[in-house]
Amino acid sequence: MNKTIGLASDHAGYPLKEQVKEWLKEKGYEFVDFGTNSTESCNYPEFAHALANAMEKGELTRGIAICGTGNGINMTLNHHDAIRSALCWMPEIAELARQHNDANVMVMPGRFIQADLAKECVEKFLDTPFEGGRHQARIDAIPVKR
Ligand code: RB5
């Protein structure tokens, strides 16, 4: 895995995103922050698309994104073919998002998660490998066939 993590948030996710940066540094990761850069009200799709576009170009392999509930930014990210974004609010879900879903983006609900749990989610997301096997066929079947 690339040791540079893409970050995105809206205003509601900005404070937790700043904490995530510190945790990434502690674990020896670098990051690229696609914004937003303050708690001033903004629209989450702009920052979600910026992160997803960079991942689709192959510039980054993993991302962490945060909005208030996690839902809006997660919905936006999952419109991109190359993204499997998982909404995580407890470490076990983050771990399973990697083991079973091979999630390449983890989303957290900035307004509804305590810092200690968010930190554990980040650690699980970064440290847990994909199990493959039966889960590979399942994620292969996710894209809509038109
Ligand atoms: C912002 O108020 C809020 O709607 C946004 O952060 C997010 O929760 C949307 O899904």
pLDDT per residue as tens digits for the range 97-109: 999 999 999 999 9
Interatomic CA distance for residues 55 and 104, integer angstroms: 9
Choosing from 67, 88, 121, 135, the catalytic residue is: 67
Tell me the CATH class for 4-140. Answer: alpha beta
101-144 pLDDT tens trace: 999 999 999 999 999 999 999 999 999 999 999 999 999 999 98
pLDDT at 1 over 80: no
**73 and 83 in contact (C-beta within 8 Å)?**
no
Cα 85–chain centre separation:
6
Choosing from 42, 49, 80, 100, the catalytic residue is: 100
Token pair, residue 71, equals 């839902």
| pLDDT bucket at 2, cuts 50 / 70 / 90 | confident
CA–centroid distance, residue 93 to ligand 1 (Å): 21
Sheet holding 62-67, edge to edge: 30-33, 4-9, 62-67, 105-109, 85-87
Ligand 1 contact, 71 CB (< 6 A)? yes
Instruction: Give how far Cα 118 sits from Cα of 13, 106, 135, 142, Å.
Output: 12, 11, 25, 27
Provide the residue ranges of all domains of the chain, joining segments of one domain with +: 4-140
Interatomic CA distance for residues 107 and 4, integer angstroms: 17
For the question of residue 67 being annotated catalytic, the response is yes
For the question of residue 88 being annotated catalytic, the response is no
